Amino acid sequence: MSEKKVAGLSPQRHTGKSEHRETNDRTSWKGAVEINEDLPQNMPKPKRDLDPMSIKELQEYIAEMHEEIERVRAEIAKKEAHRSGVEALFKKQ
């Protein structure tokens, strides 16, 4: 049986499966997050070691933290506005 070539399509049979070998080796999962269900999920993050950082790196770190604080404050304001709107909706009678 001869295979016809169609523009943009390969004559190979596609099964929908990845062409890569499937393995159960966890080292092949780059970037995968493994959650240990035995540990509490709300553990505080360890504090960053500031000792090896230069003055410039510390100043950049402070700037990053200020940006994150502003992002969190904006999210709080958004949620408070949403809550106020919902409360106002249910208080109307």
Percent of the chain with pLDDT over 90: 39
Question: Taking residues 70-90, what's their average pLDDT?
Answer: 93
Whether the per-residue pLDDT at 26 is higher than 60: the answer is no
pLDDT of 92 higher than 90: no
- 5-16 pLDDT, tens digit each: 555 555 555 455
- pTM to 2 decimal places: 0.48
Tokens of 89: 């909706």
| CA–CA dist 90, 93 (Å, integer) | 8
Q: How far is CA 33 from CA 26, 30, 36, in A?
A: 11, 9, 10
Average pLDDT for 33-48: 75
The predicted structure's pLDDT at residue 62? 97
